[in-house]
């Protein structure tokens, strides 16, 4: 009974609300990718310039994540969810009125990217609402929404465009999940965590000597910089696959594979939707197989994403539908599988009062990798007239990620064995 009171069942409602927030955020991220050709035609820009709309979202997303961590530590998850969802949903809702010039759309994507501040809530939710033995699973369920959202978006975006005949109204209509997530968050997330959990966390901090650890101090730990680098190259793969696969498969040869929007959307959906079980299995793998160790999942993820993202660029592979699907699915699995191990590593190895800030920093600065990869992909596509040099660097990013994984070690003073928090 006492343990049940420490971690109340209400935590699952908090998790549901958080998942809806991340689904809506991921829909906003992907909505342009399946209809880039139509956006480019309407705005009278070339494909390489259109791709930079994804770069704008990604760079603002990174900044939002970095700022969102300290915000959530200071003001709580409800404030951060509200601000982030308003940034994402309001510009999308207004797109039929503002979406007729490239400059206005680019600015709107910058504002929408600020939704990244919601990422900082993952750490406090895991640390204060879930026992350690459930943190991998809970983190996996939250992160799998980063695949559910794109899966919805990559199907709904071209379908709505075909019906409405306007990409601006398509974007506006797909902002509705964000408004639903906002109303649910306002009704659910204002409840504070159990006082027993907060007391146990503070006791853990005091017994481990980490009550005096400051935000500035954690940047002296090598794990902060190594971990940020790992997320940097993981994000390069995630944003590269999600934003570049649809136009790569749809664009006519020699720029792309030449499958057309409909078939490209179906195949991209397979690459994205596999992330749903990959995140969940990755969380269970961290909890049950790796026994709280992060490195095994990181090695597996980087090897799969690097190898198979390169293979589907080979003519003999993309010319064979079965092989193409096989490589797309395994590349998508790889970039998602490592996510729960990264978030759990942060929740376990940093003081709980700084977990939100560190989630924001790792994934925020790391998302610069996604922005950089998307920017370079747009430049490469514009200069070469091909997606090859836009996607091939994902394999190189995975190699660097593997090398950094060898270097990832928890800071000695923040080792998780320092104290035990009561669990269910």
By the 8 A CB rule, do 21 and 180 touch? no
Confidence of residue 413 (pLDDT cuts 50, 70, 90): very low
Spatial separation of the C-alpha atoms in residues 204 and 196, rounded to whole Å: 12
More confident residue, 261 or 230: 230
Question: What's the pTM?
Answer: 0.72
Spatial separation of the C-alpha atoms in residues 61 and 116, rounded to whole Å: 5
Above 80 in pLDDT, residue 21? yes
Q: Which two tokens stand for residue 294?
A: 């992060």
Above 80 in pLDDT, residue 260? no
Confidence of residue 211 (pLDDT cuts 50, 70, 90): low
pLDDT at 299: 93
pLDDT at 11: 82
| Residue extents of the structural domains in the chain | 2-198+213-412
DSSP code of 287? I
Average pLDDT, the chain: 81
Confidence of residue 5 (pLDDT cuts 50, 70, 90): very low
23 CB-side CA count, 13 A: 19
Q: In this predicted structure, which of 143-152, 256-265, 357-366 has the lowest mean pLDDT?
A: 256-265
pLDDT at 36: 79
Q: In this predicted structure, which of 55-59, 222-226, 410-414 has the lowest mean pLDDT?
A: 410-414
pLDDT at 162: 86
Domain range 2-198+213-412, CATH class: mainly alpha
Interval 287-329: pLDDT, tens: 788 877 888 999 999 999 889 988 888 888 888 888 988 988 8
DSSP letters spanning 51-92: HHHHHHHHHHHHHHHHHHHHHHHHH-HHHHHHHHHHHHHHHH
More confident residue, 237 or 424: 237
Spatial separation of the C-alpha atoms in residues 173 and 87, rounded to whole Å: 16
pLDDT at 347: 75
pLDDT at 184: 93
Above 90 in pLDDT, residue 121? no
Instruction: Please report which residue ranges of 285-385 form alpha helices under DSSP H.
Output: 295-311, 315-318, 321-337, 339-349, 355-384
pLDDT at 110: 92
Q: What is the CA radius of gyration of the chain?
A: 21
pLDDT at 9: 78
Average pLDDT over residues 111-135: 83
More confident residue, 210 or 186: 186
More confident residue, 326 or 190: 326
């Amino acid at each position: 009974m006492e343990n049940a009171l420490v971690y109340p069942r209400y935590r699952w409602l908090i998790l549901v609300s958080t998942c809806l927030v991340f689904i809506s955020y991921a829909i906003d991220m992907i909505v342009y990718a399946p209809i880039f050709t139509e956006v480019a035609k309407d705005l009278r820009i070339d494909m390489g310039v259109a791709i930079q709309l994804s770069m704008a979202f990604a760079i603002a997303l990174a900044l939002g994540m970095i700022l969102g961590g300290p915000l959530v530590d200071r003001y709580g998850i409800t404030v951060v969810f509200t601000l982030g969802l308003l940034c994402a949903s309001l510009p999308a809702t207004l797109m039929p009125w503002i979406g007729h010039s490239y400059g206005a759309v680019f600015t709107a994507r910058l504002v929408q990217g600020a939704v990244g501040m919601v990422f900082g809530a993952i750490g406090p939710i895991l640390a204060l609402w879930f026992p350690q033995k459930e943190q991998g699973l809970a983190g996996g369920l939250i992160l799998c929404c980063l695949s559910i959202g794109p899966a919805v978006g990559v199907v709904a975006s071209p379908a709505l465009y075909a019906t409405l005949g306007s990409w601006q109204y398509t974007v506006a209509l797909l902002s509705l999940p964000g408004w639903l997530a906002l109303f649910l968050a306002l009704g659910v997330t204002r409840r504070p965590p159990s006082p027993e959990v907060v007391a146990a966390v503070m006791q853990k901090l005091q017994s481990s000597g980490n009550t005096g650890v400051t935000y500035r101090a954690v940047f002296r730990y090598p794990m902060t910089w190594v971990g940020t680098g790992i997320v940097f190259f993981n994000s390069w793969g995630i944003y590269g696959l999600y934003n570049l696969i649809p136009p790569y498969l749809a664009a006519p040869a020699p720029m792309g594979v030449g499958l057309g929007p409909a078939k490209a959307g179906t195949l991209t959906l397979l690459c994205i939707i596999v992330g749903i079980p990959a995140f969940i299995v990755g969380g269970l793998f961290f909890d049950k197989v790796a026994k709280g160790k992060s490195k095994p999942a990181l090695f597996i993820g980087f090897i799969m994403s690097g190898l198979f993202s390169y293979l589907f660029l080979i003519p003999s592979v993309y010319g064979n539908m079965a092989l193409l699907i096989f490589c797309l699915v395994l590349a998508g699995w790889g970039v998602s599988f490592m996510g729960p191990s990264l978030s759990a590593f942060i929740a376990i190895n940093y003081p709980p009062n700084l977990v939100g800030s560190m989630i924001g920093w790792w994934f925020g600065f790391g998302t610069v990798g996604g922005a950089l990869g998307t920017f370079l992909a747009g430049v490469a596509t514009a200069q070469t007239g091909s997606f090859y040099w836009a996607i091939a660097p994902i394999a190189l990013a995975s190699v660097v990620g593997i090398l950094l994984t060898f270097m990832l070690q928890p800071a000695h003073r923040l080792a998780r064995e320092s104290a035990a928090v009561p669990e269910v």
